[in-house]
Amino acid sequence: KAGVTQTPRYLIKTRGQQVTLSCSPISGHRSVSWYQQTPGQGLQFLFEYFSETQRNKGNFPGRFSGRQFSNSRSEMNVSTLELGDSALYLCASGTFQGQYGYTFGSGTRLTVV
Amino acid sequence: AQSVTQPDIHITVSEGASLELRCNYSYGATPYLFWYVQSPGQGLQLLLKYFSGDTLVQGIKGFEAEFKRSQSSFNLRKPSVHWSDAAEYFCAVDTYSGGGADGLTFGKGTHLIIQP
């Protein structure tokens, strides 16, 4: 079956702009979570959605937001971009409580200039 | 809050030699435990997971991990490494509060280098 699809793969934005990233989970998976990966901070949890509801949120400012649609596809949005937002953003899909582990997409590489 | 420690930032192993990557976690109960591998520019691939039961877990690509509750450890092992195993390895834990997952907490990763 198809894996987790993240679009776009690469993105360059200017400081102050906003950006929207997309994630299509594995068919049948209703949980979608987002992670930020940077060399300095490593992998950090952003938020998780299940059936269109945000169940949990990591320690990130309100500029980071997300949503999930009825078909389980998810988007995350970052407003007023800062240089420090440059990172690899990874999406993971899973079952209700991740009992079978989470499947990650290849990520979106965001560069803020 | 939970935390994960991978003490070794880099490990160099000769091809064909055995491998052990260390992972220690801090959490009040037994979390769900995972090992992921990441190749350059790629996402994370799940190697294996532990939820309960047998403390020795078999994964893909010939990897196994042993959960030791007394040591709060979940070390990854492979009896004979291949050059294609060179990658970044992440240990992670997942905890649950209420009805939902709290999100994975990752260690900083161990960079594995394979010498010919």
Q: What's the CA angle centered on B38, arms A111 and B103, to 5 degrees?
A: 80
Q: Please name the residues in contact with A23: beta carbons below 8 A apart, sequence gap of 6 or more.
A: A4, A5, A6, A32, A34, A73, A74, A75, A76, A91, A93, A105
Q: Is A64 on the interface with B (CB under 8 A)?
A: no
pLDDT at res. A68: 97
Rounded CA gap, B2 and A110, in Å? 28
pLDDT of B39 = 93
**Of B44, B94, B107, Cβ closest to residue A104:** B44
What confidence score (pLDDT) does residue B83 get? 96
Q: Which of B41, B46, B103 sits opposite A48 (nearest CB)?
A: B103
- Taken as a whole, chain B contains a residue count of 116
For A23-43, what is each residue's pLDDT tens digit? 999 999 999 999 999 999 999
Interface test with A, best of B3, B104, B108, B110 (most A CBs within 10 A): B104
pLDDT value, residue B107: 97
Give kind and range of the element (H or E) at residue A58: none
Q: What is chain B's pLDDT, residue by residue, as a tens digit (116 residues)?
A: 789 999 999 999 999 999 999 999 998 787 889 999 999 888 899 999 998 888 999 999 999 999 999 999 999 999 999 999 999 999 999 887 655 567 899 999 999 999 99
A97, A102, A103 member nearest B96 (Cβ):
A97
| B94 near A CB under 8 A | yes
pLDDT in the model for residue B28: 79
In chain A (113 residues long), the average pLDDT of successive 10-residue segments reads: 91 98 95 95 94 91 97 97 98 77 93 98
* Nearest residue to B81 via CA among B73, B72, B89: B89
Closest listed residue to residue A6, CA positions, set A86, A75, A102, A84: A75
Residue listed under structure tokens 């079978």 = A100
Using the Cβ of A39 and the Cβ atoms of chain B, whether some distance falls under 8 Å is answered with no
Peptide bond into A8 cis (omega under 30): yes
Please judge whether A98 and B45 are an interchain contact, meaning their C-beta atoms are less than 8 angstroms apart: no
